Amino acid sequence: MTSSDQTKFVHSPADIPDDWFKWKDKDPEAAETVSRPSLSYWKDAWKRLKKNKLAMAGLVFLVILGILAVIGPILSPYVVTDQNRPDQFLPPSIDHWFGTDSLGRDVFTRTWYGARISLFVGLMAALIDFFVGVIYGGVSGYKGGRTDSLMMRIIEILYGLPYLLVVILLLVVMGPSLTTIIIALSVTGWVGMARIVRGQVLQIKNFEFVLASKSFGTRTPRIIRKNLLPNTMGPIIVQMTLTVPNAIFAEAFLSFLGLGIQSPYASWGVMANDALGAILSGYWWTLFFPAFFISFTMFAFNVLGDGLQDALDPKLRK
């Protein structure tokens, strides 16, 4: 039972000066310093996100991409749809930084135009999912009882629908365009969000109930706003972040199939499709740039979503 390290210098009680044997003053400060400075939820999460290098790299990439999507097409002297047959398949050069495609269009300009489309589709899909999901999931969770179980049954059934097939069907019938893509994606995409929102609403309700029964009184709304809402927002934000790459993929996939943005307008999917024949002849740049940006944009959103998930998880919070 004798501990080795701390008793090194004390071999017998005689080594202890007599005047150490007096009652310790209770200092009130000691108790206060114990309660460590409590960071706000968001600051805390941000601090943890910053430690995740991959997620931060993703965030930086997305910010730069966003800026270039806005100013990229302006920077370039070419117009997205401008064809110039004699300039067909020029490799990257001072004039055409990313080269030109089969119709002599500037790949640099088209890439940033494609970035606009991808980011727009991704963000719109996430926003619409969010609103529909919050309304549906919110009502379901808040009402509870029969309404809830009916609404959840409906979700269970919708979950089983092969959504990309439904989207293809809708696009075939409504005709391809950016608006129809966004509508088609939102018609099928909100289900996951609604489930999550419902779960979070149930959690809040439960907590409200617990608090009320413990009569915290006027502090209840404050606790919900300060502690609970941020915690429940976490999974919703993560879901939104992960919706974006899915929507970007869906747009590119559909455009690739000829159901999305139509040539001569550019989207990364359209550009990849146009490049299909060209790469066999060695015009790698026509494929490389859209392929690189679509992959890395999705990669960035995915690692950012993973990072947010870790950073916002209240369970990990100490």
Partner 1 sequence: MLGYILKRFAVMVVTLWIIITLTFVLMVTLPGSPLNEERTTNETVQANLEAHYNLDEPYYIQYLLYIKSIVTFDFGPSIKQPTETVNDLLGRGFPISFELGMATIIVAVISGIILGIFAALKHNGIIDYLAMTIAVLGISIPNFVLATLLIQTLAVYWNILPAATWSSPVHMIMPTIALATGPMAIIARLTRSTMLEVLTQDYIKMARAKGLKPWKIIIKHALKNALMPVVTIMGTLLAGILTGTFVIEQIFGIPGMGKYFVESINQRDYPVIMGTTVFYSAFLIVMLFLVDIAYGFLDPRIKLHTKGGD
Partner 2 sequence: MEKILEVNDLHVTFSTFGGTVQAVRGVSFDLHKGETLAIVGESGCGKSVTSNAIMRLIPDPPGKISNGTIEFKGKDLTQFSQKAMRSIRGVDISMIFQDPMTALNPTLTIGTQLVEGLMEHRKTSRAEAKERALEMMNLVGIPNPEERFKQYPHQFSGGMRQRIVIAIALICEPELLIADEPTTALDVTIQAQILELFETIQEQTGVSIILITHDLGVVAKIADRIVVMYAGKIIEEGTRKEIFYHPEHPYTKGLLKSVPRLDIKGANLIPIDGTPPDLFSPPQGCPFTARCSMAMEVCDKVYPLQTELSDTHKVDCWLQDDRAEQLVAQAADKT
Binding site for partner 1 (CB under 8 A): 54, 156-157, 160-166, 168-170, 172-175, 245, 249, 252-253, 256-259, 269, 272, 275-276, 279-280, 282, 284, 287, 291, 294-296, 298-299, 302-303, 306
Distance CA 22, CA 40 (A): 42
Spatial CA neighbour of 118 closest among 2, 271, 283: 271
Per-residue contact string for residues 32-71; x = within reach of partner 2 by CB under 8 A = --x-------------------------------------
The one of partner 2, partner 1, none whose footprint includes residue 56, by CB under 5 to 8 A per kind, is: none
Which residues, numbered 14-33, are part of the site for partner 2 (CB under 8 A)? 16, 18, 20-24, 30
Would you give the DSSP letter of residue 227?
I
What SS3 class is residue 100? strand
SS3 readout for 38-72: CCCHHHHHHHHHHHCHHHHHHHHHHHHHHHHHHHH
12 binds partner 2, rule: CB under 8 A: yes
The one of partner 2, partner 1, none whose footprint includes residue 157, by CB under 5 to 8 A per kind, is: partner 1
The one of partner 1, partner 2, none whose footprint includes residue 2, by CB under 5 to 8 A per kind, is: partner 2
Distance CA 193, CA 129 (A): 7
Distance CA 122, CA 184 (A): 13
The one of partner 2, partner 1, none whose footprint includes residue 272, by CB under 5 to 8 A per kind, is: partner 1
Nearer to partner 1, 160 or 217 (CB): 160
CA 43 to chain CA centroid, Å, is 18
- Cβ atoms of 133 and 190 within 8 Å: the answer is yes
Report in angstroms how near the CB of residue 201 gets to partner 1 at its nearest: 20
Report in angstroms how near the CB of residue 310 gets to partner 2 at its nearest: 13
* β-bridge mates for residue 100, sequence order: 106
Report in angstroms how near the CB of residue 225 gets to partner 2 at its nearest: 28
Token pair, residue 221, equals: 């709304």
Distance CA 121, CA 123 (A): 6
Report in angstroms how near the CB of residue 289 gets to partner 1 at its nearest: 11
Residues that bind partner 2 (CB under 8 A): 1-7, 10, 12-13, 16, 18, 20-24, 30, 34
